[in-house]
Homo-oligomer: A and B are copies of this chain.
Amino acid sequence: MIKLAIDLLGSDLGEEELIEGVKSFLKDHDDIILHLFGNEELLKKHFNTDKIVIHNVSKFVPMEVGALQFLRMKDTSMYQAISSTMELELDGVVSAGSTGGFLTGATLIIKNIPGVHRAGFCAPFLTLKEGKQVAILDIGASNINTPEDLLCFGRLGNVYAKKMWNIEKPSVYLLNNGVEKGKGPDEVKNAYTLFEQCENINFKGNIEAREVMSGEADVVVTSGFPGNIYLKASEGMAKNMSLLLNNAFRHSLMTKISYLLVRKQIKRMKEIMNYKKVGGALTLGLNKVVVKAHGNSDAYSFYHAIDLAYRMASVKMTEAIKKEFE
């Protein structure tokens, strides 16, 4: 039985949207107990099953919150969801609320697994190989990272790819501004040497940002700041191109007819690039499964965020990481 805490407040599209995601998820899964943190009255209208435990909370953490501010917000749904994960010995926690608040709370309350000196915020990203993902970390939990942090991220990503994707020896790369050894800032250069010396990792060297999605890499390691830039640059370009494409098809009657003829293939293309299927990002290296759903999660996206946490708990990700860092 997988037990998850689900924070339902503070997302862009609101509680009702997330509730729909929870409902769909419940339909598809039996071996689960979900602790929902939100409006009891509303939740009681939607749920009447022993797979759901309702925790009544009305306050939420605002999107922009400082670490100290967050720690004073003990009566919010996010704080409650995180702390209950520890107190009630649940397997993990999911939230679509403030990323800053969630990362702070998860780090300070759930805490790093012993031996993990830096947890990594990781985005499973889609690739051109249909169905294949690549794990990129860190994508912004840290601003600056040491070579040792980067090695730690690589070990975490390595376990993730092994367990989630059943890859025996995941291909691990360092994100850099060139493929040759000796490229990049000092922390990347020094991390390169650490990776070369690490026997448990199938280290393949540097990778440039334009090749991350090619499907060659299983894990791409980066400091948090460039990782965040990578993620948002890719998202931005994908969004811009979709926008231009929609405009192209909306131009005239002729182009609208054209769309009808190619619609199925365009949908397939958008499905390959559909980041909502990924559900969100996750923190690797903490004592529980921690999944951050997109702030603008709709029901579909939130379903997949819960599913991500569910699958991580099912493969015993936390235990596997504990073993790696023993």
Q: Which residues of A contact B (CB under 8 A)?
A: 64, 128, 140, 143-144, 175, 177, 180, 184-186, 208-213, 222, 224-226, 228-241, 243-245, 247-249, 251, 254-255, 257-262, 265-266, 268-269, 272-273
Q: What is the distance, in angstroms, from A133's C-beta to the closest C-beta of chain B?
A: 14
Which listed residue (B175, B241, B249, B257) contacts A241, Cβ 8 A? B241
* A contact face: mostly helix, strand, loop, or mixed: helix
Which listed residue (B140, B231, B244, B268) contacts A269, Cβ 8 A? B244
Report whether A265 and B237 are in contact in the complex, using a CB–CB cutoff of 8 Å: no
Report whether A233 and B212 are in contact in the complex, using a CB–CB cutoff of 8 Å: yes
Measured in the bound complex, the distance between the Cα atoms of B224 and A184 in whole Å is 10
Kindly report which residue of chain B lies nearest to residue A270, judged by CB atoms. Answer: B244
Kindly report which residue of chain B lies nearest to residue A128, judged by CB atoms. Answer: B240
Measured in the bound complex, the distance between the Cα atoms of B64 and A290 in whole Å is 42
Q: What is the distance, in angstroms, from A238's C-beta to the closest C-beta of chain B?
A: 5
Given A210-B239, A228-B177, A251:B233 Cβ within 8 A = no
Measured in the bound complex, the distance between the Cα atoms of B258 and A177 in whole Å is 39
What chain B residues lie within 8 Å of A212 (beta carbons)? 233, 236
Given A229-B226, A233-B209, A240-B128, A261:B257 Cβ within 8 A = yes
Q: What is the distance, in angstroms, from A299's C-beta to the closest C-beta of chain B?
A: 23
Q: What is the distance, in angstroms, from A205's C-beta to the closest C-beta of chain B?
A: 14
Measured in the bound complex, the distance between the Cα atoms of B211 and A259 in whole Å is 28
Q: What is the distance, in angstroms, from A265's C-beta to the closest C-beta of chain B?
A: 4
A175, A211, A265: which has the most chain B beta carbons within 10 Å? Answer: A265
Measured in the bound complex, the distance between the Cα atoms of B185 and A317 in whole Å is 31
A64, A144, A240, A259: which has the most chain B beta carbons within 10 Å? Answer: A240
Kindly report which residue of chain B lies nearest to residue A127, judged by CB atoms. Answer: B240
Other than the given A210-B233, A213-B237, 13 more pairs (CB < 8 A) read A143-B186, A144-B186, A185-B225, A208-B232, A212-B236, A225-B226, A233-B233, A237-B237, A241-B241, A244-B269, A244-B272, A245-B245, A251-B262
Q: What is the distance, in angstroms, from A277's C-beta to the closest C-beta of chain B?
A: 15
Q: Which 9 A-B pairs have the closest CB atoms?
A: A210-B236, A258-B261, A209-B232, A248-B265, A233-B233, A258-B262, A237-B237, A209-B233, A177-B228
What chain B residues lie within 8 Å of A232 (beta carbons)? 177, 208-210
Report whether B248 and A237 are in contact in the complex, using a CB–CB cutoff of 8 Å: no
Report whether A269 and B240 are in contact in the complex, using a CB–CB cutoff of 8 Å: no
A225, A230, A233, A265: which has the most chain B beta carbons within 10 Å? Answer: A233
What chain B residues lie within 8 Å of A175 (beta carbons)? 229
Q: What is the distance, in angstroms, from A120's C-beta to the closest C-beta of chain B?
A: 15
Kindly report which residue of chain B lies nearest to residue A209, judged by CB atoms. Answer: B232
Q: What is the distance, in angstroms, from A191's C-beta to the closest C-beta of chain B?
A: 13
Measured in the bound complex, the distance between the Cα atoms of B234 and A239 in whole Å is 11
